[in-house]
Structure 1
């Protein structure tokens, strides 16, 4: 009995895999037919473009299901190729769409559709041959053929699991991301994020320069002129000199306030003085939408703390302005050599990282530190933003946590 369980499990898994193969093969054949129809209709005023776009999206979903099944069979995760779904959200331009078809990932998906169809037909034919042979032997009048007829079914049953493993390996080869593709994509992403970060830093420097020139510098110059005027009338009109000095004091106070505002946009004082954990708690306290916070993070490098702080600040701003949420939950912790942050709200959903938007800015800011951002926001909600930045604590001291389940508004 010790081996009956695994054997029966392999037979059951093999049968399920063969059944899945048949269904997947039928779907693959239908998608190939739809793609052929779309290609035929392309010359007719581009009518094939919407057919191809819809079919291609279905191909991507079927390929995703195949990757998940193959990963389960092989006991390992199979990464999606970096350009698996290019151009799905682009305008339906015929030439633009045709350019996307030349991508290597889509060509591999087409190859997998053909392979899946052929494999399904081949396996079905082999099963039919075995079943017919066994049926003829069992149904014959010769008793001597009865036992061999039943025995003929045993090898196919035992072979189904290895066949499924073979199919899963082929699916991983055709649909999975290769190490060189992942490396090239990662390098390209890092190069893009570095460029965007440099541009963002340059824009920040220009903004600070403009704020100092138009604000603080103007107030300081005005203050100097006012003090000079006060000195000139000090002996002749002490009361007037006192008024001018009071005006200079108000101007200096205003200049100091503007200078603090400028500095706050670079690195908030609460972040510099109290650390990331308390700075994030302060963000939650200022939020119009009640935020349940779970914060337990050590002291990190200043660059990491600044990036995570502004990323969470932007995410909370989106919750307050656009989500329509009544409640949100923020988590912030450090584990496995990275700081992990998450924000979930019960709003209307539909959030997306559009170029130049706030969420895209979060991705750019964290990408410069080799960080990742994942956004899940189906229509109707909820919206979940997950952030991860690799880093190590800069101090062994852990900030006190806020307490599980605490709620602030």
Structure 2
């Protein structure tokens, strides 16, 4: 194996992390002595780095074929892992494959095999069947959030993928729960289990639990009052069904609560737009299904609101994992209708919130999001966008917020007070000598 070209200290510096936590150290140490590892650790505890570092140790830089594959249950999680891997700055290529992404783009990215491949079961299986993925050199298999990717709906594709990988030497399975039996086809051989769940449950002082009683079965009015009471802090509202997500979002909008909704039936651009607006502060409330309970690493989410009761304790755990991540604090709030009771896994002594009679609408967000119809494939990057908006849109540095560049389009947050003038100024201007559509993101 050719000598590695990365150092952990440099990777941590690139990620702005001072040192590995105990779970990450244990994973790295275990990988030196064991071929197969099961890593159980709470959401937000840093599991991505805990499997990427051992994975890197197995990479042979002289080998130009794909050597590691990471299988995840959602496109959001796949994109999150891709982002972390790129920020690590190793120089190794990673390719992300998932449903809703143009297969032609992925096929082009796979012509030169990436060292690491990350994706969802259906899309990865499709590429393997089409011969787009070179599987012979893949020796490391990671199943992130394996409790979800090994559920019955995924098992056929998972079995096909794993059976196609004939030369797996190392397996790392991660989860925030212990609820799933691991099928034989995964091929575990005397795995080393690292269980950090019990320790983190004892130390989870960062997460507070509260509940509020709704006067009626329909909880919309109570949710509205609660969000007013919370005062515009970053909040995710979880519903159990897609139609309930849209209905609840519309009710909040009509009452003056600026929000976005997010669920699996939306087009990819709509999903990207909703998440970007939530990340950059254009909206502080995201109404969603359990699709957002995994794979979203959005900093500073203060409140998780269970508008509908979670179906299982595992779902409750994953929802709550969107807040109080790493060393941050957060609060999970359950809204109960008159006929509902706290689930048995929730301590009955948790604090009940008494909502004030008078409601005051939270202050409106100070940012808006622009959609720019140009992205990575047009050779447009963040520096280009900042330069364009500064020079042509006459925006100052402090007027430009978070920028996200996708393959064919980009989103950028700008001060709401400057949006109208800036849009007028850039209307007939060009980015990279090309005139592109620029508008307020829908």
Fold equivalence (TM over 0.5)? no
| Structure-2-length-normalised TM-score | 0.24
Give the structure with higher Rg (CA).
Answer: 1
Structure with higher helix content: 1
Greater RCO structure (CA 8 Å; 6+ sep): 2
